[in-house]
Amino acid sequence: MILKDKSEIEIREGASLSAITTDLKGYADLEWLSKKLTTENLKEVQFTTDDEPTGIYANMKMASSPRFRINETTNGIEVTFGLLERSEEELRYEALSQEVTDTEMAICELYEGKE
């Protein structure tokens, strides 16, 4: 699985969007994984098999809680998580929030220029 920032997460064969499983060495790797599965990185998700794309998705989000299902194994931990497509309402809200932030920044810049 390849994220927007080109980070690669090795996942088990047979994954579906609702059940993606990866094997990690330990809980430190789980922290790395959780930091990679951000809103920004999930804007572009690509699944590959033998370096060939098998699925390309846009505007994904983590499925509802618990975010991760964790099972300890003899070699580390097995982590399963799910992804969902973000709704049109969520995308509109994000765009509107960004517009408000951009407007606030422009007003601050204008105000600072008057001093």
φ, ψ of residue 100 to 5 degrees: the values are: -65, -45
Confidence (pLDDT) at 41: 96
Q: Which value, to the nearest 10 degrees, does the dihedral of the CA atoms of residues 103, 90, 68, 4 take? A: -60
Residue (of 105, 63, 113) closest to 85 by Cα position? 63
Q: Alpha helices of 45-87 — where are they, by DSSP H?
A: none
- List pLDDT tens digits, range 22-50: 999 999 999 999 999 998 999 999 999 88
Q: From CA 70, how far away is CA 81, in angstroms rounded?
A: 9
- List pLDDT tens digits, range 60-115: 999 876 689 999 999 999 999 999 998 888 878 877 777 767 777 777 777 776 65
